[in-house]
A and B are shown apart, each in its own frame.
Chain A
Amino acid sequence: MTWGKGTTNNSIGWGKGADSNSISWGAVYPESLSGDTDIQSGLSNTVAPAISGTNEVGEVLTCTSGTWSGGTPITYAYQWKRDGVNIGGATNNTYTLISADAETDITCVVTATNAEGSNSATSNTVTIAAEGDADALAFISAAGITDPTQQSAVNQLVLDLKAASIWTKMKAVYPFVGGSASAHKWNLKDPQDTNGAYRLSFSGGWTHSSTGATPNGTNATASTFWEMNDVAGRVDNFHMSYYSRTQNPSGDGWVIGRGDTNDGDPLYGLAIKRGGSNLRIFDPANLFYRISSTETDGRGFYVGSATANNARVFYKNAGSIGSGSSVSAHATFTGYPVYLGAMNGPTVLYQNNECGFSSFGDGLNGTEVTALNNAVTTFQTTLSRNV
């Protein structure tokens, strides 16, 4: 038999038994009360302690004492717990979440004490969110992304790229979240507001929205400030990617790349041509060298990648849609950084293909392209803008 709370505070008497039709000595528990009364102190918790605050690492949680009945004065002590285990030194009514708390359940036990004794009650449980990746957080801060879904999508994108060991191969990653030029310009890989960080600079007519950025096909460009490094007049280790959201882009369809200094012919780039009929990745020296494929729908995730001179492949949604052989060298040139949304050169080539993601960097093999495609697909799905 357990002594307990009576019908009034500090009373005992006949009470509810083990079943609804019996009574027993000892305790009468009014059903509105959740806590036991400590007989010695007479302390009973009538409103449970409550944790408030943001459930993210680095944030501060606060726990109320709850409401107690019993002899006064009453003092309160706090013990925070992680997955039911005491957290050392966490004995104030506030607690700053640390990395070890990510994806755990946090509770707080409040112990009320008066002159006669003490009694304890446990707070609600707060599940702590997975800790944000530092690179993702830097981008989210720079781009001013406040939407939790977008934040989560960016964080997962970074985690996926790192897990696949392709994060380090990226020079620039443009997620196009936030719906404005001021949000879309940032490079996830290096979110600094400088040309050297490959931060985009938008010129001409662009439409920025929650699904991406759309050049107008007449004068819109976005400079990446990336001057591809020609090695002996050839680039054998690079990739470019573009998440295309437009079925039939206008113009010649060059969505990313740069041309040469003579007549603007594309040397390196991806094209998703009008009518969905021809996709190309260009290589140097031979102006007619290209990898082509016939597509009926321009939408999808396109990657052009060279991992060696004789390993040049064009992918759509991770599937190879063409490959090329070795190419010869051409004269090196500078002064035409890669454009996004257009092809840079003495004559700029424009098109109007909405972009939901783009990247460039070192060459990716087939396995790595698959991993990139999976990461980008997850990213677009999370944002409900996959095509």
Chain B
Amino acid sequence: MIVVKLTQAQADSLRGVEFIPDNFFNPIVDADGNWFISIEERDQCDIEWVKECEEIPYNPVQVNLF
């Protein structure tokens, strides 16, 4: 799975911004400490610099539930 890498400043600028009606950006950190948003957010928004951001493999934070 691929996600879109952001700098922390970019993540801060997008957090909570509505990219389509009633759907908001949700930048989070992966297991490597990279900020990212999803492909869906990039593809559905109309912010040019977002569309030029680097794609990276998704490396989720592992949670030991039990």
Contacts and interface: CB of A to CB of B under 8 A. Distances in A.
A178 to B, nearest CB: 11
Given A205-B37, A207-B40, A182 B1 contact: no
A350 interface: yes
Contacts of A182: 21-22
A155 to B, nearest CB: 24
Contacts, number: 73
B47 interface: no
Interface residues on B, range: 20 to 34
22 contacts: A180-B22, A181-B20, A181-B22, A185-B22, A201-B24, A202-B23, A204-B26, A204-B37, A205-B26, A205-B37, A205-B39, A205-B41, A207-B40, A218-B36, A219-B27, A219-B28, A220-B26, A220-B38, A221-B26, A252-B63, A287-B66, A349-B65
B23 A252 contact: no
Nearest to A207: B40
A4 interface: no
Interface of B: 1, 3, 20-28, 36-41, 58, 60-61, 63, 65-66
Q: Give the interface SS of chain A, mostly helix, strand, loop or mixed.
A: loop
Contacts of A265: 65-66
A266 interface: yes
A203 interface: yes
B4 to A, nearest CB: 10
Nearest to A217: B1
Contact of A347 (B27, B36, B58, B61): B61
A219 B28 CA distance: 7
A288 B66 CA distance: 7
The 3 closest A-B pairs by CB, nearest first: A205-B38, A205-B40, A204-B26
A36 B27 CA distance: 77
Nearest to A347: B63
